[in-house]
Copies of this chain bind each other. A is one copy, B any other.
Amino acid sequence: MSVDEIRRRPSNTRASVLRAPGPCARWDDDNAAFIREILDLVGDKWSVLVIGTLADGPVRYSDLADAIPGVSQRMLTLTLKQLRRTGLVAREAFAEVPPRVEYRLTPLGASLLSTVLALAEWSAEHFAEIRGNQLAYDRG
């Protein structure tokens, strides 16, 4: 899929209006909003860390909290809720004492994991280059 196809992808929420031709390609409002929605999800402060933690199999709530440095209970709960709503993560509660709740990736979540992994790989590859650019820029 090309950039332009994504930019112009017909919206299924309302008729998308092609803007008047200009000096460069323009984002259709709907598609810009849609991309932003996915990026909000992926770019969310904790989502990707949660997804990465669930890569190897089901994990309990408290183990998630331990595995992810710095996450608060509130944010972990909100993040999990959001991921469940999107269908990336499934929750299973066991009727035991003490209570046990496990979270795991759905197939959809697993497919996103591999995509996000490509981004992580890119980051790892260009880490040094980016740091160098930042230093050079900051020097003047």
A residues neighboring B (CB under 8 Å): 1, 3-4, 6-7, 9, 12, 22-27, 29, 32, 34-36, 38-40, 42-45, 48-49, 52-53, 55-57, 59-60, 63-64, 66-70, 84-87, 108, 111-113, 115-124, 126-130, 132-134, 137-138
Contact = CB atoms under 8 A, between A and B. Distances in A.
Contacts of A43: 39-40, 42-44
Contacts of A49: 27, 32, 35-36
Q: Main SS of chain A's interface residues?
A: helix
B35 A134 contact: no
Contacts of A34: 123, 127
Given A85-B134, A108-B133, 20 more contacts: A1-B117, A3-B56, A3-B117, A4-B56, A6-B52, A12-B128, A23-B59, A23-B63, A24-B57, A26-B66, A27-B49, A27-B52, A32-B49, A34-B123, A35-B123, A38-B120, A42-B43, A85-B137, A86-B133, A87-B134
Contacts of A121: 1, 6
A97 to B, nearest CB: 19
A9 B121 CA distance: 11
B36 A45 contact: yes
A122 B56 CA distance: 21
Contacts of A3: 52, 55-56, 113, 117
